[in-house]
Chain A
Amino acid sequence: EVQLLESGGTLVQPGDSLTLSCAVSGFTFSSYAMSWVRQAPGKGLEWVSGISGSSAFTYYADSVKGRFTISRDNSKNTLFLQMNSLRAEDTAVYYCAKDRGRLRFFDNWGQGTLVTVSS
């Protein structure tokens, strides 16, 4: 059974940094691209960032480019999202998702972790 479990979400102040993790199981992690998708309270889905299986390619939404860094550790079956210079508008539930082909579609999602940016 495919499982994705996000962690690391918490309350932080504007300008702070935070790293989210997504531990996966049930599939060969290194064979699949992965993405982070977020959802602000009461709002729609927003794709944030993606990474290829080998980490050779990374992709970012304009809204986070230069502030967020996606990475993965295939030896530990874990995906990361390092978030710097956090803003109030980054407040959201962050989901990790298994990608079936370089931003093609996401066939498995985690349950999400809440990041709140507030003073």
Chain B
Amino acid sequence: QSALTQPASVSGSPGQSVTISCTGTSSDVGAHNYVSWYQQHPGKAPQLMIYDVGNRPSGVSNRFSGSKSGNTASLTISGLQAEDEADYYCSSYTSNTLVFGEGTKLTVL
């Protein structure tokens, strides 16, 4: 149950777009479409941003989008806003367990 690989940090200026990658294996990310993304602000509980690779829950801004190619999933945030500064985690189902990514700290410059 190794964690999925994410960049430790990404940054962008307001209005720009950033993409966070999430690399797994053919047993997890590459095996199905049960990949999701969570946003976590300091001291707060995680919040679901994307589920099943590219679906947004009700209430989540359409500036957030998800995709997948092979064993790598991606979260793209367009039109960066100051409130997007947070930690982001991907997750994937695998063999009756769930694995999270290492987490990526997004800084809005």
Binding site for B on A (CB under 8 A): 35, 37, 44-47, 50, 59-63, 95, 100, 102-107, 109-112
Contacts and interface: CB of A to CB of B under 8 A. Distances in A.
Interface string B68-109: 000000000000000000010101010011111111000000
Contacts of B96: 59, 103
B51 A100 contact: yes
B101 A44 contact: yes
Contact of A44 (B3, B45, B52, B93): B3
Interface of B: 1, 3, 34, 36, 38, 40, 45-48, 51-52, 57, 87, 89, 91, 93, 96-103
Contact of A104 (B45, B47, B51, B57): B51
Nearest to A99: B98
Contacts of B103: 44-45
Contacts of B97: 47, 59-62, 103
Contacts of A46: 100
Nearest to B103: A44
Contacts of A111: 45
A25 B70 CA distance: 39
